[in-house]
Chain A
Amino acid sequence: MPNRLRSAIPYVLLILLTTPILVGYLWLFISSMSARTYGLRPEGLTLENWRFLVEPIRSRPSIWQVLLSTLAFAIPLGLLDVTISSMAGYALSRLRFPGRRMFLSFTIVLHAFPSATLLIAIFFVLRAIKLYDSILGVVLVSVSLGLPLGIWLMKGFYDNVSWDIEMAALIDGCSRLRTWWSVVLPIIRPGLAALLIFSFLGGWGAYIIPYTFLVTATIQPISVFLQSLTGDYTFVNYGVVTAVGLFQLLPVLLFYLFTQRYLLNLYSGGMKGGA
């Protein structure tokens, strides 16, 4: 059956490519449940590694405090990013104003700009406006760094909304603002949802920015917390590290499972942008 063989080739390739990733996940899971591992072979099944759920690890804040800080960072980040991007994207897609083209090119350039090179400059700015070591500070920094992509994506979604619909709304009796709010925004809702999720997940996993600008342990998000477990001068307990890692990973996996339909929109609908 050469036909069946041929249709099997993509599957074989995909399986080969994903096996290392799956093995990684598997090890993470096994390791978090055992005292030690030899490759994938666990030794001494235990829940001891998960003790951090009920009792803080040494002098560190409780995991629930960390979770709260992470949400306090990721949720405003997602909301702000979507709010600003959806407004700026509309303006760039629909309105004519001086500097529009330049703004668009800047958006692309800034998106490609490696944000790590800005860390020191941002540090001085945050210290000057007294937002160093505050969640608000890292939210603002992360939103700014996320905006170029968000604006560009939103612009792409707006570009796909027909002018006719907008004109119809104006004639039916809407103001421009009302048209945007009651007619155009609902149409690009899949794009808004996708950007919200994308941006939230970015905040959930963010490391460099919070690590650099948050020093108080109680307001650090989970990625920094995880790093602190390996960065100790004491012996690194990889069982605990994997357990915390899994704890951070599980919500993301679940999230992807239920929202991938929206996220796919980002890659299908959103990229038809252009100046």
Chain B
Amino acid sequence: MEIALDNLSKHFGKVKAVDEVSIKVPDGEFVALLGPSGCGKTTLLLMLAGIYKPTTGTIRFGEKVVNDLLPKDRKIGMVFQSYALYPHMSVYENIVFPLRLQRLPANVVRDRAHKMAELVQVQGLLDRKPGQLSGGQQQRVALSRALIKEPDLLLLDEPLSNLDAKLRIAMRAEIKRLQKDLGITTIFVTHDQLEAMTMADRIALLNNGKLVAYSQPHDLYDRPKTLFAAEFIGSPPMNFLRIRIEEKDGGVALAGEGIQMPLAGEIAQKVKSLGGGREVILGIRPEDITVATDSGDAKAEVYIIEPLGRDMLVDLHVQATPVRVLAPPTFNAPIGASVALTMDRTKIHLFDPQTEQALLN
């Protein structure tokens, strides 16, 4: 089912928890609401669930405006961060609870429960109480309870954040697969950009209740439209350097403290059009910088090296500005060594320091 939010706002007193958000979620897509804590993503989810009533704006499920529809009439399933299983009911009773409320015939309930239990692999746990399950098992039960009534919309509120790291990666793939198999329109809330990147078809990035970006993960990663998006997406995060656009002898270069980065070709034209002498913020991801011993765009000093196995995460200082670089595992320079950094010209981002908007795309 297609979901459309139109200028949706939720105010709590003077606080604008959600501020004029408009999003369209195509049928069957998996959308992540991403943002730091307190950005309004959970409030938005609870409005979709019908727990909160929007202050202004509309929520449409398909063609229908559902603003005033009670949660029970919305045909949605939801998984909570705490799982919110009913502690006094067995796993089986938890799973069939939504069907019991629909007064479906006993054999239908039983069949669907067993099919569901098989799908999320909790067949052996049906007689247990939630308190006797591990976090991962509780999550599977919560998921099957949300899915058993075959909802039009599945809502997931930080579903993975209570799991340990290994299980989280496994469940990430499993939930994504399940969503694709069932084709249920799904909206999930997370503060973990990696989770959003790996699982979602589209990411809605929120900050202070406002929608900052809404696009596909690779688009958000490759062409962030604001400084906030560039900062928030990616791990280790993007590096930012204060620089000035310099025009010299017809050529153009980015210059800053310890940085002298001549440009050529298409990118040079683009930068030139921004105006010489202008102060901007240069953004570049750790994987788009190479470290060499001879010469490059910037001189840097090795601060510390963190081996990640597949790569080396090298923390450097360009004058006083910290810069992180992903180097090949063969990289070995002692702490304090002077090195030179070369930046991939096709991967640089420029931002206006005042408006924080991207200048190049």
Chain A: residues with CB nearer than 8 A to chain B? 162, 164-165, 167-175, 178, 183, 186-187, 189
Q: Which residues of chain A have C-beta atoms less than 8 A from B55's C-beta?
A: none
Q: Which residue of A lies closest to B80 (CB)?
A: A164
User: Is B98 close to A, CB under 8 A?
Assistant: yes
The reply to whether A173 and B80 contact each other, CB–CB distance below 8 Å, is: no
A164 to B46, CA, bound (A): 11
B61 neighbours in A (Cβ, 8 Å): none
A167 near B80: Cβ-Cβ < 8 Å = yes
Q: Is the CB of A187 within 8 A of B46?
A: no
Q: 29 A-B Cβ contacts within 8 A?
A: A162-B82, A164-B82, A164-B83, A164-B84, A165-B85, A165-B86, A167-B49, A167-B71, A167-B78, A167-B84, A168-B80, A169-B97, A170-B71, A171-B51, A171-B71, A171-B72, A171-B74, A171-B76, A171-B77, A172-B97, A172-B101, A172-B149, A173-B72, A173-B98, A174-B101, A175-B70, A175-B72, A178-B101, A187-B87
Q: How far is the CB of B157 from chain A (nearest CB, A)?
A: 8
B84 contact from A162, A175, A189, Cβ within 8 A? A162
B106 to chain A, nearest CB (A): 17
B210 proximal to A (CB < 8 A): no
B88, A187: Cβ atoms closer than 8 Å: yes
A169–B97 CA distance with the chains assembled, in angstroms: 9
Mostly, the B contact residues are loop
> CB within 8 Å of A: which of B32-78?
46, 49-51, 70-72, 74, 76-78
Q: Which of A162, A167, A173, A183 contacts B46 (CB 8 A)?
A: A167
- Give the contacting residue for A168; candidates B74, B84, B149; CB below 8 A: B84
Give the docked Cα–Cα distance between A130 and B164 (Å): 67
A175 to B102 Cα, complex, angstroms: 12
- Residues of chain B lying within 8 A (CB to CB) of residue A171: 49-51, 71-72, 74, 76-78
Contact with A along B84-110 (1 / 0, CB 8 A): 111110000000011001100000000
Q: How far is the CA of A44 from the CA of B346 in the complex (A)?
A: 109
In the assembled complex, the CB of B9 is this many whole angstroms from the nearest CB of chain A, namely 20
| Interface hits, B174-190 → A, CB 8 Å | none
The yes or no answer to B145 lying at the interface (CB within 8 A) is yes
Cα of A168 to Cα of B83 in the assembled complex, Å:
9
Given contacts A167-B51, A168-B145, A170-B51, 15 further A-B contacts (CB under 8 A): A162-B84, A164-B80, A164-B82, A164-B84, A165-B85, A167-B80, A167-B84, A168-B84, A170-B50, A170-B72, A171-B77, A172-B97, A172-B145, A173-B101, A186-B88
CA distance A172 to B62 in the complex (A): 21
Distance between Cα atoms of A189 and B89 in the complex (Å): 13
Expressed in whole angstroms, the Cα–Cα distance for A175 and B82 within the complex equals: 22
Determine whether the beta carbon of B149 is less than 8 Å from that of A173: yes
Q: Which residue of A lies closest to B74 (CB)?
A: A171
Chain A residues closer than 8 Å to B84, beta-carbon distance? 162, 164-165, 167-168
Q: What count of chain B residues pass the 8 Å CB interface test?
A: 26
List, in ascending order, chain B residues with CB within 8 A of A173's CB: 72, 98, 101-102, 149
Chain A residue with Cβ nearest B49: A171
Q: Smallest CB–CB gap between A171 and chain B, Å?
A: 5
The smallest C-beta distance from A215 to any residue of chain B, in angstroms, reads: 46
Task: Pick the most buried of B77, B84, B101: most chain A CB atoms within 10 A of its CB.
Answer: B84
Which residue on chain B has the smallest CB distance to residue A170? B71
Q: Which residues from B are CB-within-8-Å of A187?
A: 86-88
Q: Which residues of B contact A164 (CB under 8 A)?
A: 80-84
| Complex: A173 Cα to B77 Cα, angstroms | 10
Give Cα distance in the complex from A174 to B102, angstroms. Answer: 10
Q: Which 6 A-B pairs have the closest CB atoms?
A: A173-B101, A164-B84, A168-B84, A172-B98, A186-B88, A170-B71
Task: Give Cα distance in the complex from A168 to B102, angstroms.
Answer: 15
Closest to A162 in B: B82
- Is the pair B86, A183 in contact by a Cβ cutoff of 8 Å? yes
- How far is the CB of B142 from the nearest CB of chain A, in Å? 8
Hey, which chain A residues are within 8 Å of B76, CB to CB? Answer: 171
Bound Cα distance from A171 to B50, whole angstroms: 8
B88 touches A168 (CB 8 A): no
A165: shortest Cβ distance to chain B, in Å?
5
Tell me the complex Cα distance, A170–B50, Å.
Answer: 9
Q: Are B98 and A189 in contact (CB under 8 A)?
A: no
**Residues from chain B with Cβ under 8 Å of A167 in the complex:** 46, 49, 51, 71, 78, 80, 84
Q: Residues of B contacting A183 with CB < 8 Å?
A: 86
The CA-CA distance from A172 to B81 in the complex, in Å, is 16
In the complex the two chains form, what is the Cα distance from A262 to B86 in whole Å? Answer: 21
The complex places the Cα of A218 from the Cα of B329 at a distance, in Å, of 94
Instruction: Determine the chain A residues whose CB is within 8 A of the CB of B97 once the complex forms.
Output: 169, 172
In the assembly, what is the distance between CA of A171 and CA of B145, in Å? 11
Residue of B nearest to A176 (CB): B70
Chain A residues with CB below 8 A from B88, complex form: 186-187, 189
B145 CB contacts on chain A under 8 angstroms? 168, 172
Which residue of chain A lies nearest to B157 when distances are taken between CB atoms in the complex? A164
CB distance from B147 to the nearest CB of A (A): 12
Question: B72 — nearest CB in chain A belongs to which residue?
Answer: A173
B44 to chain A, nearest CB (A): 15
Give min CB distance, B80 to chain A, whole Å.
4
| Bound-complex Cα distance A189 to B86 (A) | 13
CA distance A183 to B85 in the complex (A): 10
Select from chain A the residue with minimum beta-carbon distance to B76: A171
CB distance from A24 to the nearest CB of B (A): 41
Pick the most buried of A168, A174, A178, A187: most chain B CB atoms within 10 A of its CB: A168
